[in-house]
Chain A
Amino acid sequence: MSEYSQIAGEGLWRNNPALVQLLGLCPLLAVSNSFVTALGLGLVTLGVLTTSNIIISLIRNLLHDVIRLPIQIMVIATSVTLADMALQAWYFELHQRIGLFVALIVTNCTLLGRAESFASRNPIVMSAVDGFMMGTGFLWVLLLLGTVREVFGMGTLFNNLHLLLGPAFENVTLHFADSGFLLLVLPPGAFLSLGCLIALKNYISGDQY
């Protein structure tokens, strides 16, 4: 059991893909301007990462050095394409907003990183747990960034949540102010807030660089 809690600790905090490995920054910075897009892309990444880890781990005995990388990329690209089509079919409005970045999950190095360094060497259940924990680690950072940037940048929270969770959530938007600190919603705000978050993480874990 301690093995699994070790994996969980690595993914969620000690070796967090967004805060420590600094992988997958392109989608992270791009979609974290509101809570809903962050949640949407975070969940898709989580699903794809777990799936690709499971598949890679299933076929790990076939992964000879020469063909290892092409196969890993192929598995990742396939699962992303499947997720993209499923989103277009069943969550069309959300896809309108995050569709561009779903395709970019292929280039999210977290996926190839986990496939290469974990899933191709470990049994299926452990790889699944690793994918899930890494994905969750990515998701919570994305959500925190999305919340901070939406609250301070736009003065709202949970805007458009119904696009993801259905019409029941049409009126859950919280309004704090009529306008916000616009810079945070724009691309520079993504770098600034992620930088602050990483600094905070390093402060808490007492890392010295």
Chain B
Amino acid sequence: MNPRIFTLVLLAMLCGLAVSGLNGVTREKIRDNQEQFSLLQIKQVVQDDRAVLEQVDEHRFLIKDELGENGMVFRVTTLSGYNGEIILWVATDGEGKIRGVRVIEHSETPGIGDLIERPVSDWIDQFSGVSAENSWDDDVDYVSGATITTRAVARAVQEGLAQ
């Protein structure tokens, strides 16, 4: 074999070994991190530390507390935002009222559309206590300058509730 190709192949194998070696060390840690992160976000939405979450499928959890089944947490995604996907977790109680909503991923304009994110503004808290029966046009406070973003979030929550 041409010695240069041999060198190239040998170095490629070394690089591959290094990558798979570190992958072996970090794989479980990374998976743990990701699971903990999504669980932490779901807990924030439920706003009840004693509640137990029972997974239904990838996007839905049942909330169980001492009284038994008490609402559920589900994930909704919308594309009607200003820029790309907005992913939300919505938690409801047994009567169909919203416990809480959290945006977990979005790429709205920083400084304008990011008010849907909890640390940035408490806009998202207004959904707590709202149910599908409320009039969504009157009761939700849309924000001028970020109309598209806030409307997309509200509509996604409303449609998620309806399901």
Q: Which residues of A contact B (CB under 8 A)?
A: 33, 59, 62, 64, 66-67, 70-71, 74-75, 77-78, 81-82, 85-86, 88-90, 92, 96, 153-154, 179, 182, 185-186
Contact = CB atoms under 8 A, between A and B. Distances in A.
A196 to B, nearest CB: 21
Interface in B45-70: none
Interface string B1-39: 000110110011001001100110110011001100100
A185 B109 CA distance: 10
Nearest to A82: B22
B19 A89 contact: no
B26 A59 contact: no
B8 to A, nearest CB: 5
Given A82-B19, A179-B111, 4 more contacts: A33-B110, A89-B26, A90-B29, A96-B37
Contact of B110 (A71, A75, A185): A185
Given A81-B19, A88-B33, A182-B112, A74 B11 contact: yes
Specify which of A59, A67, A86, A182 lies most central, judged by the most chain B CB atoms within 10 Å of its CB: A67
A41 to B, nearest CB: 17
Contacts of A59: 11
A74 B14 CA distance: 10
Interface in B120-141: none
Contacts of A71: 7-8, 11
Nearest to A181: B111
Given A62-B7, A67-B7, A74 B110 contact: no
Contacts of A33: 110
Dominant secondary structure of chain B at its interface with chain A: helix
B22 A67 contact: no
B4 A67 contact: yes
Contacts of A90: 29
Interface of B: 4-5, 7-8, 11-12, 15, 18-19, 22-23, 25-26, 29-30, 33-34, 37, 109-112
A92 B23 CA distance: 15
A85 B4 contact: no
B17 to A, nearest CB: 10
A84 B67 CA distance: 45
A-B CB proximity, top 10 nearest? A89-B26, A78-B15, A92-B33, A89-B29, A182-B111, A67-B8, A88-B30, A85-B26, A62-B7, A67-B4
Given A67-B7, A185-B110, A78 B29 contact: no
A66 B112 contact: no
Contacts of B12: 74
A153 to B, nearest CB: 8
A47 B9 CA distance: 26
A62 B7 CA distance: 7
A71 B13 CA distance: 11
Nearest to B37: A92
A75 B7 CA distance: 13
Contacts of A154: 111
A168 to B, nearest CB: 19
Contacts of B19: 78, 81-82, 85
Contacts of A64: 4, 7
Given A33-B110, A182-B112, A85 B7 contact: no
Contact of A82 (B18, B29, B34): B18
Contacts of B112: 182
